[in-house]
Chains A and B, each alone.
Chain A
Amino acid sequence: MRGHRAHGALAAEVVAALAAAEAPLSPAEVQAALGSELGEDKVQATLVRLWEIGVVARRPVEGRGHVYWPMRDAAADAASRMRTALAGRRPKRAALRQFVTSLRGVDADRLRALLVRLRS
């Protein structure tokens, strides 16, 4: 199963990688972030498609194609709407599923120790 991506999963990972990065990324850098088993042409094609529909922006870099970054305005607007949506206690509890809920009642140190073990 490893390396297999569901339909549309690659586009989400590309957007996620660009949003996580501090600076614009070239296709090669995106590919490096996502893992080795992907061809750069596949990443490139995904980036171009995302640029065509206006999800990401790009500018040319001398002699080396383009670098890409996510549309920050949309992300900032989304943030303010998300803040409003999650405001208050009742909505938060009713919020569908979050990847992790709050750590209330958990020893953060125990989790950190677990993380160290998982990395080794």
Chain B
Amino acid sequence: MSLAVPLPVALSLLLAILAPRAVRRTAPALAARGLVVAAVVTSGAYAACLLMLASTLMEDLLPLSTSDGGAGPIAAVAAVLLAWGLWRLAGDLAVRRGMRRRLRGVGRPRGSGLVVAEWDEPHALAVPGRPGHVLVTTGMLRALDAGERRAMLAHERAHLTRHHDRLVSWAAAAAAFDPFLASVRDEVAHQAERWADEEAAAVVGDRALVARAVTRAALAGHPPSPATSGTGGSGILHRVRALSHPAPDSERGIVLLLVLIAVAVAEVAVVAAAWLA
């Protein structure tokens, strides 16, 4: 029983470490979906384990309990993690809902599916809804030429038509409850960007054009004196590089994700068996 607490944490960490490597050469549409399923199943396993462990605490508190208090500190830790996770989950849902409402309220996309904001800061984002629209600033539009604008609009429309907001929301909810999954959430967001890049490249028929649009948009608002130097690691360079190669189509990474999902399910079974025993 005492092994039951480290198990879900270990699985979450394993997923967090392996997931980005696993999907490195996987097609982004498959990678994003696979990662979301793995994250949701893993956080579900984490929740189930915490719930079972915490419930032994309740038994201890009952005067008629037959258990003689072996669960003590482990159950307490599980209960705290459970409460903390639920608190974070509620916060994440509230922030996202509020954000979506405020972005929808920015303007109505009459006739064009596009809302333009007169603002120098370069932003372009997809505002989900029925049917959803694109919100873009003049700062972004003026940083791009006509072809790049077309690539950017196709990218944002891909987010809408492929419902990337749902994928990212599921991953964010999983990571809110199970904080060890934060890097998986970020990888899902990155894969959604890659996916939209690939869709935009298919629409405009020019991978280099999309790469140029991404690069120029990233540099917009960054004056030539770079105080921004760092060690790389951002998704932008990866996106640009990926666009300079043919579209990826490997399905290898998904096998590893499937194994992790199976492990998560098995883990719940193990803890459940220990709990019922």
Which residues in A have some Cβ–Cβ distance to B below 8 Å? 1-4, 6, 8-9, 11-17, 19-20, 33-35, 49-50, 53-55, 70, 72, 74-79, 81-86, 90-91, 94-101, 103-112, 114-115, 118-119
Contacts and interface: CB of A to CB of B under 8 A. Distances in A.
B130 interface: no
Interface stretch (B20-28, B34-42, B76-84, B223-231): B223-231
Given A1-B205, A6-B203, A97-B159, A16 B106 contact: no
Interface in B30-70: none
Nearest to B205: A2
Interface residues of B, number: 85
A108 B228 contact: yes
Contacts of A9: 113, 153-154, 157
Contacts of B231: 105
B138 A19 contact: yes
Contact of B237 (A4, A86, A96, A111): A111
B152 A99 contact: yes
B127 A96 contact: yes
Interface of B: 92, 95-96, 98-100, 102-103, 105-107, 110-119, 122-128, 134-138, 140-142, 144, 146-147, 149-150, 152-157, 159, 164-165, 168, 172, 189, 192-193, 196, 202-206, 208, 211-212, 214-219, 222, 224, 226, 228-237, 240, 244
